[in-house]
Amino acid sequence: MIQTSNLSATYSPNKIPLKVLDNINLSIEEDTILGIAGESGSGKTTLLKILYGNIQGSLQILNGNIKYNINEFYANIPDDIDAVQKQWWRLLSYIPQESMSVLNPVRKIKNQFYDSSITEKYTHKNNLYLDLSDYFNSLHLEESILNSYPHQLSGGMRQRVVIALATFHSPKYIFADEVTTALDVIIQKEILLLLKKIQRTMGNTIVFVSHDMGVHYQISDKLAILYAGEIVEISETQKLFSNPLHPYSKLLIESLPQIGETILRSGISGNSLVNTPEKACTFAEKCPKVMDKCRTQKPSLKSIRSNIQVSCFLYED
């Protein structure tokens, strides 16, 4: 289990601190796929980085903490960032955006595997190689890929190689950032099925960030909606789609095109944490159900029913 409590973070690209996440309370359980949805700028990639322990440069934790409890590994961010980072490619792994260009151009694929801590568990490279080729086969990747260079592979193949890299050592938590964004729909479907299969087989947790609601529908068991750096709703995916509670979730889901539709879609203009005053709901300006209360007080995440949490005054009675 990974649990965040009142997590807030700032980021200072021009030396001026901007708050990018506010009061995040999230429980990430085992053996599930948790989706994090939101538009660009909502803070979802930042949240993923922080959960992975990739906190550097001007990114800083302002408030709150993250507790890790995985297979007798206990740690706490921000106190034990080093301990969490030591778990990179052991209990934790990360699949970045732009998987096309994350492989070393002058290194054979197998060597990139050997470079990581995976090799520590093996006495002979040969055994590792055999296991790798078995794993590749199970992912429908040819063994020859192991001896190739990245530029010899197609974009889709490289994507799958990166997924193999991130999952081969059976991590417990896999953090995936916009994994399907750059792909065409057909490859996208394959990758999603692949990820789902890996999760179901290995019984690990995938934290899946994407702005694409359609993708979440296909893969996420549970879905957290992020708006302007705050979680506005968390629910089981099916329930969320059939009955979205928060006005923003509603707009998001309604924005999904359905086959046979003829209605024109309208976009939802975004917002960031920077622009809203401390004591107001960040969605107040754009909310179709806004009340006076929303402009003077900030709602917080509350459990409505089992497994459903919403942050909205509409449900606070």
Partner 1 sequence: MEIIKYLIYRFIAFIGVIIFGVTIVFFIPRFSPTDPVENYLNSILSGQGGGIDGAAIEEMRTNLTILFGLEEDYFTQYIKFITKFISSGDFGPSFSAYPTTVNSLISQALPWTLGLLLVSTIAAWLIGNFIGLIVGFKEGKIYSSLLEFIAMLVYPIPYYILGLLLLIFFGYILNIFPMNATFMYKTFSIDALIRLVMISAMPALSIIIISIGWWVISMKAMSVNTKKEEFVLFAKLMGIKEKKIMFSYVLPNSLLPQITVLALQFGTMFNGAFLTEILFSYPGLGNLMYTAVLAGDYNLIIGTVTLSIIAVATATFFVDFVYPFIDPRIKYK
Q: Closest separation between CB of residue 45 and partner 1, Å?
A: 13
Q: Closest separation between CB of residue 102 and partner 1, Å?
A: 4
Q: Closest separation between CB of residue 116 and partner 1, Å?
A: 5
Closest by alpha carbon to 231, among 53, 61, 78, 27? 27
Residue 155 contacts partner 1 per CB under 8 A: no
- Cα 121 to chain centroid, rounded: 28
Cβ atoms of 172 and 28 within 8 Å: the answer is no
Closest by alpha carbon to 80, among 108, 61, 106, 101? 61
Burial class, 73, CB count within 10 angstroms (exposed 0-12 / middle 13-18 / buried 19+):
middle
Residue 86 contacts partner 1 per CB under 8 A: yes
> Binding partner 1 by CB under 8 A: which of 11, 18, 73, 89?
89
Closest by alpha carbon to 209, among 177, 174, 235, 245? 177
Q: How far apart are CA 216 and CA 227, in angstroms?
A: 16
Residue 248 contacts partner 1 per CB under 8 A: no
Candidates 92-100, 188-196, 214-222, 228-236; binding stretch for partner 1 (CB under 8 A): 92-100
Residue 77 contacts partner 1 per CB under 8 A: no
Cβ atoms of 300 and 232 within 8 Å: the answer is no
Q: Closest separation between CB of residue 150 and partner 1, Å?
A: 8
Residue 27 contacts partner 1 per CB under 8 A: no
Number of residues that bind partner 1 (CB under 8 A): 27
Contacting partner 1 within 130-149 (CB under 8 A): 148-149
- Residues facing 18 on adjacent strands: 11
Cβ atoms of 116 and 92 within 8 Å: the answer is no
Q: Closest separation between CB of residue 107 and partner 1, Å?
A: 6
Q: Given the complex with partner 1, which of 101 and 303 has the nearer CB atom?
A: 101
Candidates 31-39, 69-77, 107-115, 187-195; binding stretch for partner 1 (CB under 8 A): 107-115
Q: Closest separation between CB of residue 155 and partner 1, Å?
A: 14
272-297 burial, b at 16+ Cβ within 10 Å, e below that, comes to: bbeebeeebbbbbebbeebeeebeee
> Binding partner 1 by CB under 8 A: which of 90, 172, 211, 216?
90
Pairing of strands 33-37, 222-227: parallel
Residue 29 contacts partner 1 per CB under 8 A: no
Binding site for partner 1 (CB under 8 A): 52, 54, 85-86, 88-90, 93-94, 96, 98, 101-107, 111, 115-117, 148-149, 151-152, 165
